[in-house]
A and B are shown apart, each in its own frame.
Chain A
Amino acid sequence: MNISLELNGRHADWDVEPGEALLEALRRHGVLSVKRGCDTASCGTCTVLLDGAPVPSCAVPAPRADGRSVTTVEGLPEETARLGACLAAEGADQCGFCAPGLVVAVVAMSRELATPDDDAINHYLAGNLCRCGGYVSQTRAIRRYLEEAR
């Protein structure tokens, strides 16, 4: 079936399967920053913004994106560069597989919460798992990013 969406600020017309997840459709159309990690909407590596709200794209049927906007790190170059620099400064970017999904979620958080403390950060980002870094370095980096953004 045909859908029209706004992908990272540009219009796109896609032919998708009715049962296809948005994650699969994105990857099939070359948006490879969105990673497939768990198949059960548990790990957050496939997080995208759907009309500005963070969602696991593996749990969103592709047809549901019809008429809506989808944002991935490709559409957030400035935020990605700044948060990326903070992650790198803390050594918090390990394998990088979870990083694009995390960046998308942090951008959504920074728009939603004015001054989140560590507990609020950890709660908001609870759906973005990381198996390499033990989280504390990511939290340091996110704090740094939020402080720099102010």
Chain B
Amino acid sequence: MNEVGKSLPKIDALGLVRGTPAFTDDLAPRTSLCVVAVRSPHAHARILSIDASAALALPGVLAAFTWQDVPRVAVTRAGQGHPEPSPRDRFILDEYVRHVGDEVAIVAAETEEQAREAARAVRVEYEVLTPVLDFETALDNPVVLHPEPEIHENFPIGFEPKRNVASAYSMHVGDVDAVVARSEVVLRRRYFTQAQQHVALEPHCACTWLDVHGRLNVMSSTQTPWHVRRIMARALEREVKEIRVVKPRIGGGFGGKQMLHGELFCALATLRTGRPAKMVYTRREVFEATNTRHPMRLDVTLGSDRDGTLRAIDLEVLSDTGAYGEHALTVFMVAGAKTLPLYNKVEAVRFGGRTVYTNRVPGGAFRGYGAIQGNFALESALDELAGELGLDPVVLREKNMIAEGETSPIFAIMGEGTEGVEMIVESCKLPECLRRGKELIGWDAKGARREVAPGVFRGLGMALAMQGSGIPTIDMAAATLKLNDFGSFNLLIGATDLGTGSDTILAQIAAETLGVPTGDIIVYASDTDRTPFDTGAYASSTTYVTGHAVRTAALKMREEILVEGARSLGCAPASATFDGREVRGPEGAITLRDLSTKLLYNEHQKQLMTTGSHLCEKSPPPYMAAFAEVEVDTGTGEVRLIDYVAVVDCGQAINPNLALVQVEGGLAQGIGMALWEEVVYGPQGHLRTRDLMSYKIPGREDIPSIRAELVASHEPSGPYGAKSVGEIGIDTPPAAIANAVAAAVGARVRDLPVTPEKVLNALPG
């Protein structure tokens, strides 16, 4: 292979480093009105009266909207397929506010200063209601968050708003209770995971304008342009064809841009005034009014033989979706669907529970998407079981983990919001990942624990993980190739590069298939008018799903080039070959450069343009074995991460450097979740963490050593043997670090993050 498997530089690298205007706020029309939201100071309240007349009278103010001024159509803001598996439980603006920071009114003015002044001038009288802040008390609480009659589920997801339930699900294989009852060893543990904020460095941003045809154009830092267009059309009571959505460069997403945020508010201003409008979230708004990872309570029961043969796994989950049910069901299901198949040999397995509403910032998509929560519980519990059995945690995994050629009934039972599909695992290099990971961390040489100073201990912990590659039977992506004169190609894709380099790796796949250098591929992406469809960047789908579509489009293009080349040479296509540089027949050759130019100007003129689309039919998991070394001070409870080793099977890496950085970046976010990151609320539901001084994301000095490696692997169903790699990196740190802390000092922390206080409280005797 010439292009695939090479660590080529990202095609947009130098432009971005030079600071070329490329992000939404850089590109928004200079004449844009500034849109600002009036936000709720209460966690739960009803708006008794609202008056924007004083705001409208201020200089520079052109528009103001309250819930009485906007279409009342129930929507979800979750950027998901149609119909969405999330409940349609919110409106552009509503009479009720359900978390501190919820939108109360929208104003638009000539300058940001004027808009902020106007927002302060909107008079609101609230009836303050009792908030539900503890998700363990939400079910059947007398305080009901969503009494409004219009809200609904699109298909059965267990939606019971009168009980504060956004979704519910359960499944089982075999008789878990019976198998647990006759297991030689039974372990029951309860774990908690916290709310985490994405903290993409680019705050959410959207802008809108009307084009010469009167159509609403939307530019947004979104991961899902097509879902945004469709949901906007519904919310604004317009036709989809009246709206165009474009994603320029985005400054990180991680799932945080898989929901609609400013788009609808800008659209209101533009449609009312005819003026371009933009809304740039402040960092405080990102914390208070976007989304977080869903906090969960996870009850794990493991049944096992004394020799470590797992017999049963039971995972009962309560998930907190906050004020709105964005991604409520699907994040919840992934907590089981992308963890339980790791241990596929059990006789019985059960998964179930509910997602409940509380008056907190809505839960939403976040890299790992349930898998990291499930992984923390399951991989911690296995570590505890290994301790009870006196087994090496690695040996316990090796005894029970999934292998190539095997399957899990869960693949067919659990999809994302719907049933899944049956799947035989065709690539799984977990044994190699474990072997290499042990070697790198020094698992056998160092032993589980050693004292390095008085009262200071180092310990090793580990965890396995799996993810997926797209959502089977749902995710579809398309790609179009257009041949230009002088031999270059436009690659048009709906896929949305979040900064990961997906535009680059898709160009590499096109180039590999065509036999041309990647530099001859000109990528244009993420525009609902000008590129073919893509469900978007989520669920680790782009490499595997869009990659296939690109390869298909390129194979078709090769065929067309061969036919036209043969025609030009006067031979039969069957007797001609195309090597990427020239079409060669029995009696001569024509270069692609000449052929493409003649095709537009001189001979049999026509445009060569091919499209491929790919429906994800299975979701081969990438796998990882991870090892953490920590140092714990028993006097202070402080945990220092010394080393983190991650060995990953993501199939054939299309661009090894970019795949590794996906892993490294995911690890850093997972390490943040393990040790520091937590969205914290005061007693009345006000955020205590609403800036980067109070909310800690890992800095350079916190990540001393991350060592990520890829193992040789080939997924037969993937483009050039690839699986996806966007999420797997984040999954392991919470469990591996908690396990390492337990190994070092015997303190088992089951409630993330692993803070010094919790470590001290958990120290034995």
Residues of A within 8 A of B (CB): 32-40, 42-43, 45, 72-74, 77, 80-81, 83-85, 87-100, 103, 121-123, 125-126, 128-139
Contact = CB atoms under 8 A, between A and B. Distances in A.
Nearest to B700: A122
B200 A96 contact: no
B724 interface: no
Contacts of B691: 38-40, 42
Nearest to B666: A134
B669 interface: yes
A137 B660 contact: yes
Contacts of B23: 35, 97
Contacts of B7: 89, 91
Interface string B1-37: 0000001011011111111111101100000000000
Contacts of A100: 17-19
A37 B699 CA distance: 15
Interface in B608-667: 655, 657-658, 660-661, 664-667
Given A84-B18, A96-B251, A130-B201, A39 B706 contact: no
Interface stretch (B318-326, B440-448, B493-501): B493-501
A109 to B, nearest CB: 12
Nearest to B7: A91
B661 A91 contact: yes
21 contacts: A33-B19, A35-B201, A35-B202, A38-B692, A80-B18, A88-B9, A88-B13, A91-B7, A91-B501, A93-B17, A95-B202, A96-B13, A96-B15, A96-B22, A121-B700, A126-B701, A131-B198, A131-B200, A133-B668, A134-B703, A137-B664
A139 B705 CA distance: 11
Contacts of A36: 25, 203, 280
Of A99, A128, A129, A132, most B-chain CB atoms within 10 Å = A132
B516 interface: no
A11 B10 CA distance: 35
Contact of A133 (B664, B697, B699): B664
B283 A91 contact: no
B282 interface: yes
B250 interface: yes
A131 B12 contact: no
Nearest to A83: B17
A94 B701 contact: no
B18 A33 contact: yes
A73 B17 contact: yes
Nearest to B280: A36
A72 B201 contact: no
Given A38-B201, A99-B17, A139-B700, 14 more contacts: A35-B251, A38-B691, A89-B7, A93-B13, A94-B499, A94-B661, A99-B16, A100-B17, A125-B700, A131-B198, A133-B664, A134-B661, A134-B667, A135-B698
Contacts of A34: 19
A81 B9 CA distance: 13
Of A73, A131, A138, most B-chain CB atoms within 10 Å = A131
Nearest to A87: B17
A148 B697 CA distance: 31
Contacts of A126: 699-701
B697 to A, nearest CB: 6
A146 to B, nearest CB: 15
B19 A135 contact: no
